[in-house]
Amino acid sequence: MSSSRDDFGIAFRSALLQRGAAQKFSLVFLIVIASIVFFLDVYGFGFMKPVRAIINDGIYRVTLVASSPSRFVPQFTGGLTNLFNIKKENEKLKQELEAFKQKELSVEYLTNQNKNLRKILESEESYLKKENMILSKVLIDKSSPYLKSIIINRGSKSGVLKGMPVMDKDYLVGRVVETNYLSSRVLLLNDLNSRIPVTFGEDGVQAILKGSGGSRPVLEYLPEGYIVEEGIDVFTSGKDGIFSPGSPIGITTQKGQVKLFSESSQLSFVKVDLTQNEGAVF
């Protein structure tokens, strides 16, 4: 008898563990509980009011938790989409800002260049009106430890010939030594191969200004025993028949050098004196 009851219990528990039976039992159990609660509530038992309130609160909480994913997922995905859109827009704004900076720098460069051109045109209007002067742009500054020259954008097409003086404002800076159809090469005064006759001082001392390859050419062939004083203006003498006399060049130093009025490394525009015919080189 006891064995049969044990067998029955085992069989019953085994049946309850099966998935289908468990679902049916749960459904039946919920129906029974709901029926009991319904009849107790209909007949107005006093203890049912707080029980019903507790059940309603439980149902509301379960409903809130169950509906949370459906409410929060759209908000999360919407916020994530907005974040990506903001990042994309930020990258676009950065690119536009960089483009504006580049344009601003280009405008600044062109503005500065325009101002320099206006200064040149205004200060040299009297020269530009003459047919014997032509304004040229420096294309290349060819510099080495001893050789100093520039390439300008004027050549034989513009009437430029070998031997013509080249000026920066009123100051002599060099001489044309090679011409092409649209360009020319100018040997500067501080080039190692440059030599021009000059004069300076109240006594009109004559000398040769020789390029040293550095920033300051030196005075050579001075009178015997002559000591060069500092701060004396140096001009072309014109004795070679190449340069017009009186073109300012620079100022003397105590070491017998000449500090040029025009800085050769800062040349952007120069003038070519077209009155000079082809002559000897430096």
Average confidence score pLDDT of the chain: 76
* Residue 108 predicted with pLDDT over 80: no
Q: Which residue has the higher pLDDT, 106 or 18?
A: 106
Q: What band does 240 get if pLDDT is binned at 50, 70 and 90?
A: confident
| Identity of the residue numbered 122 | E
- Which residues have C-beta within 8 Å of that of residue 40, sequence separation ≥ 6? 48
Q: Give the phi and the psi of residue 218 in degrees, each rounded to 5.
A: -120, 155
Of 248, 231, 274, which Cα lies nearest the Cα of 172? Answer: 248
What is the percentage of the chain residues whose pLDDT exceeds 70? Answer: 60
Cross-strand pairs, 135: 271
pLDDT digits (tens, 9 = 90+) for 166-224: 999 889 999 999 999 999 999 999 999 999 999 998 888 999 999 988 889 999 999 98
Best-predicted range by mean pLDDT (19-23, 128-132, 215-219): 215-219
**Predicted confidence band of residue 57 (pLDDT cuts 50, 70, 90):** low
pLDDT digits (tens, 9 = 90+) for 22-41: 555 555 665 666 666 666 66
Considering the domain delimited by 128-273, tell me its CATH architecture: Beta Barrel (2.40)
Q: Which of 77-81, 218-222, 272-276 has the highest mean pLDDT?
A: 218-222
Handedness of CA 136, 140, 141, 143 (dihedral sign): negative
Q: Are 160 and 273 contacting, i.e. CB atoms less than 8 angstroms apart?
A: no
Query: How far is residue 201's CA from residue 25's CA, in Å, rounded to a whole number?
Result: 127
- Three-class DSSP category at 240: coil
Closest CA to 200 of 252, 262, 243, 240: 252
Indicate the pLDDT class of residue 165, thresholds 50, 70 and 90.
very high
The structural domains of the chain, with segments of one domain joined by +, span 128-273
